[in-house]
Amino acid sequence: MTDTLDAFIRGLPKAELHLHIEGSLEPELMFALAQRNRIDLPFQSVEEIRAAYAFSNLQDFLDIYYQGAGVLQTEEDFQDLTIAYFRRLKADGGVHAEIFYDPQTHTDRGLPFSVAADGILAGMKQAEDELGITSRLIMSYLRHLSEEAAFETLRQAEPYLDRFVGVGLDSGEVGHPPSKFANVMKASRERGLLINAHAGEEGPPAYVYEALDILGVDRIDHGNRALEDQALTRRLVDMGITLTVCPLSNLSLCVVKDLKEHPMKRMLDLGLKATCNSDDPAYFGGYVGDNYIRTAEAVGLTRDDLATLAKNSFSGSFLPAADKARHIAAVDAYLAAQ
């Protein structure tokens, strides 16, 4: 990889559309918050934490990720976590982000609903004021829990609904198909929320069909396994559905064995609206810029491919049409200036 491609990617204006804020908790901050909140961690050092980040599948990762989130106790903790992420995004040329958080991970350990929500929203405002980065917040339902528990989360979220752009569906996919959440997703949509679902990360193409047909999703998170089904792939292309693809996550969680086998290039060549994202960057070895760079290296993305990814990140965002057009024009202007 030449330095020039690295610089080209970091300067390319982009949005991140698939980021779990709890997944941006770096070991250093985990240690600092554990100390601040007098919480014992089962690790003696930052190096020991990083050494534990060797996953063979999604569940391996989730076990450590939910444990790590336990150090987040106060609004200030969530604000510190959030602004730290946006500083990284700024360094990678990010100008907008639509971020997930998992309310149930926090309410289930006794925090009031307001603590995480207010802290993250404060961090997002700080990012806009200090860094000029805009953002939107998406609350995700944990799919290993019941639909009833998701309904309870929607009830608790009632005072915040004007500050959430949408809902998501995450956590362990296999055995928890989108159809399990049909009613709560319908209720969420009726409250004006846009619908996202992780589908086709580890789960089969049938889960992607369910996300489309039963949930009526506005975006699919991951979507890799849709490529196993030609008719489904064609449908995603025809519908222009945005896929929030996460290459380094896919590598860490063994969705692909080698980054050289990653389908990103194939997705673009097929005309899918793929975007490039980091998912849980503190756990998967890279933020959004690293995801662009390492994928470009591994599968041979051209500058035009990279610009397409950046444009897809804006066209697939939940921003108003005029803002999308302004950001896409900025990508074209950036390309023309090279």
Ligand X SMILES: Nc1ncnc2[nH]cnc12
- The number of CA neighbours under 13 Å toward the Cβ of 130 is 13
For the chain, the straight-line distance linking the first and the last C-alpha, in angstroms and rounded, comes to: 18
User: Shortest distance, CB of residue 221 to Zn ion, whole angstroms?
Assistant: 5
Asked if 105 and 64 count as a contact pair (C-beta separation under 8 A), the reply is no
User: Shortest distance, CB of residue 201 to ligand X, whole angstroms?
Assistant: 5
Nearer to ligand X, 117 or 248 (CB): 248
Nearer to ligand X, 28 or 63 (CB): 63
Neighbours of 259 (CB within 10 A): 17
User: Shortest distance, CB of residue 280 to Zn ion, whole angstroms?
Assistant: 7
Are β-strands 219-222 and 273-276 bridged in parallel, bridged antiparallel, or unpaired?
unpaired
Instruction: Give the residue ranges of the annotated binding site for Zn(2+).
Output: 18, 20, 198, 279
Nearer to ligand X, 161 or 254 (CB): 254
Nearer to ligand X, 171 or 295 (CB): 171
Which listed option, ligand X, Zn ion, none, makes contact with residue 23 (CB within 5 to 8 Å by class)?
Answer: ligand X
Which listed option, ligand X, Zn ion, none, makes contact with residue 77 (CB within 5 to 8 Å by class)?
Answer: none
Nearer to ligand X, 171 or 315 (CB): 171
- Give the active site residue among 75, 98, 173, 201: 201
**Per CB under 5 A, does 290 bind Zn ion?**
no
User: Shortest distance, CB of residue 135 to ligand X, whole angstroms?
Assistant: 18
- Is 201 an annotated catalytic residue? yes
Could you tell me which residues come within 8 angstroms of residue 44 by beta carbon, excluding any fewer than 6 positions away?
none
Residue nearest to Zn ion (CB): 279
Could you tell me which residues come within 8 angstroms of residue 9 by beta carbon, excluding any fewer than 6 positions away?
93, 289, 292, 293, 296, 306
- Token couple for 26: 């770096």
Instruction: Give the residue ranges of the annotated binding site.
Output: 18, 20, 198, 279-280
Which listed option, ligand X, Zn ion, none, makes contact with residue 201 (CB within 5 to 8 Å by class)?
Answer: ligand X
Q: How many residues bind Zn ion (CB under 5 A)?
A: 1
* Contact set with ligand X (CB under 6 A): 20, 23, 58, 170-171, 198, 201, 249, 279-280
* Residue carrying structure tokens 């959004």: 288
Residue nearest to ligand X (CB): 170
What backbone torsions phi and psi does residue 301 show, to the nearest 5 degrees? Answer: -75, 135
Q: Which residues of 150-174 are buried (b: 16+ CB within 10 A; e: fewer)?
A: bbbbbebbeebeeebbbbbbbbbbe
Asked if 334 and 300 count as a contact pair (C-beta separation under 8 A), the reply is no
User: Shortest distance, CB of residue 132 to ligand X, whole angstroms?
Assistant: 27
Residue whose C-alpha is closest to residue 46's, from 33, 61, 31: 31
Q: Considering only residues 228-287, where is the footprint of Zn ion by CB under 5 A?
A: 279
Tell me which DSSP letter residue 26 carries.
-
Q: Please list the active-site residues.
A: 201
Q: Which residues bind Zn ion (CB under 5 A)?
A: 279
